[in-house]
C-alpha cells in the first residue's frame, strides 16, 4: 500500500479548511411560487380538484412544493388539528340533559383525563344514575334510545338531538315501542348494555360523539345491540359511523338505524350474525348514496 491516499487526504483537508465550499452562484431574484390550489377559489383550483370536490371532502389537488405541502396547506392543516383537539377538551354541561328533556345519567368517570384513560369506568353507570334509571324509565320496551357525549360533547350538543328525534320517530313508524330517552355523560360504547339491561329493552341504541376528525369534531356514531346485557362484545353489535352533515346526515341515519333495530328484533340477533343481505335495498333507501351537494372544507385561516 502506497502513502498516496494519506497524502492526498491531508492535502484535501488543508485545501477545504482554507475554502470549505465552492463559491455560491450569484443570487437572482427568487420568483414567487405559483399560487397553490388550496384555498379552492375558482381562479386557482385545478379541474381535478373541482371534480374531487363534488365527491369527497378529502383534501385532493392541493399540489406540492418538492415533496412537501405549500404553506397555505400547512396552516389550514394546523388549524383543523387545533379545532379537533379543542373538541375533545369540551365537556357536556351538567344541566344540558335536563334542559333538553332527557333523563340525565352519568358513568362512573369523575374527571376528563380519567375519562380518556379509563374506558372501563365509562362503560358502567354510577350508583345514583342506576337507581334513577330503575325508578324513572319505562321498562319492557322494544328500543332504548341513549344519547351520550362520547368523545365529542360538541357533536352530542350539535346534532345529537336531531338524530335522537329522527331515530325515535322512525322506530315508532315501524311500530316499535320506544323507551324513555336518556342522556349519559362521560359515556363509552357498551354503556348501552347496562342501560338496556336495566330497562329490559330488546334493543339498546347508543348515539354518541365519535373521535373528532380534522377540523370537525361534530360526528356521531351509533351502536345497536340485541338483548343488551353487561358482557356483550363488539361482535354482538352493529354500528354506523360518520353521522354528520358532510357524511351521513342525521335525518337519514335515524331512519336507517330504525331499519337495523327492526331487523334485530325480527331475526332475534345482532352483530356479525345479523343478516343484512336481504335488507340492502331498504338500507340503501334509508341512506341514499346519490351525490350530495358539495360541501367544501371550510377555510379556517384568514389574514385580512
In the numeric block, which cell numbers belong to residue 204?
339498546
Question: Please, which residues bridge with residue 243 across strands?
Answer: 220, 248
- Shortest reach from residue 30's CB to other proteins, in Å: 20
Backbone angles phi, psi at 273, to 5 degrees: -85, -5
- Residue 298 to residue 186: CA distance in whole angstroms: 29
Stretch that binds other proteins, among 49-57, 140-148, 163-171, 257-265 (CB under 8 A): 49-57
Pick from 42, 67, 101, 175 the residue near other proteins by CB under 8 A. 67
Helix (H, G, I), strand (E, B), or coil: what is residue 114?
Answer: helix
Bridge partners of 222, per DSSP, are 207, 240
Residue of 33, 35, 41, 85 that binds other proteins (CB under 8 A) = 85
Footprint (CB under 8 A) of other proteins, residues 94-123: 116-120
CB 145 within 8 A of CB 203: no
Closest distance of CB 242 from other proteins, Å:
4
Q: Does 11 bind other proteins (CB under 8 A)?
A: yes
Site for other proteins in 168-207 (CB under 8 A): none
Instruction: From 20-28, 127-135, 166-174, 199-207, give the range in contact with other proteins by CB under 8 A.
Output: 20-28
Report in angstroms how near the CB of residue 233 gets to other proteins at its nearest: 4
The yes or no reply on residue 88 touching other proteins (CB under 8 A) is: yes
Asked if residues 225 and 232 have their Cβ atoms less than 8 Å apart, the reply is yes
Beta strands (DSSP E) in the chain are 103-106, 143-148, 182-185, 203-209, 220-226, 237-243
**Given candidates 28, 101, 235, 304, which one binds other proteins under the rule CB under 8 A?**
235
| Segment interacting with other proteins, rule: CB under 8 A, options 103-111, 137-145, 175-183, 216-224 | 216-224
Phi, psi of 92 (to 5 degrees): -75, 125
Residues near 91 by Cβ (< 8 Å), separated by ≥ 6?
112, 149, 153
Least gap, CB of 135 to other proteins (angstroms): 29
Within 13 A of 304's CA, how many CA atoms are on the CB side?
0
Q: Is 293 in the site for other proteins (CB under 8 A)?
A: no
**295 binds other proteins, rule: CB under 8 A:** no
34 belongs to the binding site for other proteins (CB under 8 A)? no
**Residue with smaller CB distance to other proteins, 182 or 184:** 184
Q: Which stretch binds other proteins (CB under 8 A): 24-32, 45-53, 125-133, 262-270?
A: 45-53
- Residue 147's SS3 state is strand
Residues 6+ apart with CB under 8 A from 184: 105, 106, 107, 125, 129, 146, 147, 148, 149, 191, 195, 206
How many residues bind to other proteins according to rule CB under 8 A? Answer: 74
Which one of 52, 170, 184, 207 is in contact with other proteins (CB under 8 A)? 52
Among 44, 63, 265, 300, binds other proteins (CB under 8 A): 63
Nearer to other proteins, 178 or 190 (CB): 190
**Contact region with other proteins (CB under 8 A), list: 141-149, 176-184, 192-200, 277-285:** 277-285
β-pair type (237-243, 182-185): unpaired
Amino acid at each position: 500500500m502506497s502513502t498516496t491516499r494519506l497524502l492526498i487526504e491531508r492535502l484535501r483537508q488543508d485545501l477545504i479548511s482554507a475554502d470549505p465550499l465552492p463559491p455560491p452562484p450569484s443570487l437572482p431574484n427568487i420568483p414567487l411560487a405559483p399560487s397553490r390550489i388550496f384555498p379552492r377559489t375558482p381562479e386557482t383550483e385545478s379541474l381535478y380538484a373541482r371534480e374531487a370536490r363534488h365527491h369527497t371532502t378529502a383534501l385532493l389537488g392541493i399540489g406540492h412544493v418538492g415533496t412537501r405541502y405549500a404553506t397555505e396547506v400547512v396552516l389550514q392543516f394546523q388549524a383543523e388539528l387545533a379545532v379537533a383537539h379543542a373538541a375533545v377538551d369540551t365537556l357536556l354541561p351538567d344541566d344540558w340533559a335536563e334542559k333538553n328533556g332527557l333523563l340525565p345519567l352519568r358513568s362512573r368517570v369523575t374527571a376528563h383525563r380519567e375519562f380518556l384513560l379509563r374506558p372501563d369506568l365509562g362503560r358502567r353507570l354510577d350508583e345514583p344514575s342506576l337507581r334513577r334509571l330503575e325508578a324513572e324509565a319505562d321498562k319492557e320496551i322494544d328500543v332504548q334510545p341513549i344519547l351520550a357525549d362520547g368523545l365529542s360533547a360538541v357533536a352530542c350538543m350539535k346534532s345529537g338531538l336531531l338524530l335522537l328525534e329522527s331515530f325515535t320517530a322512525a322506530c315508532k313508524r315501524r311500530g316499535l315501542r320506544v323507551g324513555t330517552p336518556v342522556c349519559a355523560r362521560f359515556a363509552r360504547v357498551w354503556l348501552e348494555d347496562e342501560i338496556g339491561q336495566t330497562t329490559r329493552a330488546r334493543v339498546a341504541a347508543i348515539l354518541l360523539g365519535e373521535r373528532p376528525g380534522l377540523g370537525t369534531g361534530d360526528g356521531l356514531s351509533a351502536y345497536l345491540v340485541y338483548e343488551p346485557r353487561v358482557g356483550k362484545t363488539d361482535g354482538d353489535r352493529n354500528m354506523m359511523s360518520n353521522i354528520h352533515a358532510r357524511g351521513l346526515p342525521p335525518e337519514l341515519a335515524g331512519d336507517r338505524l330504525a331499519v337495523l333495530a327492526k331487523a334485530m328484533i325480527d331475526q332475534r340477533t345482532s352483530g356479525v350474525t345479523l343478516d343484512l343481505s336481504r335488507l340492502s335495498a331498504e338500507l340503501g333507501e334509508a341512506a341514499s348514496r346519490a351525490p350530495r351537494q358539495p360541501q367544501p372544507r371550510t377555510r379556517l385561516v384568514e389574514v385580512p
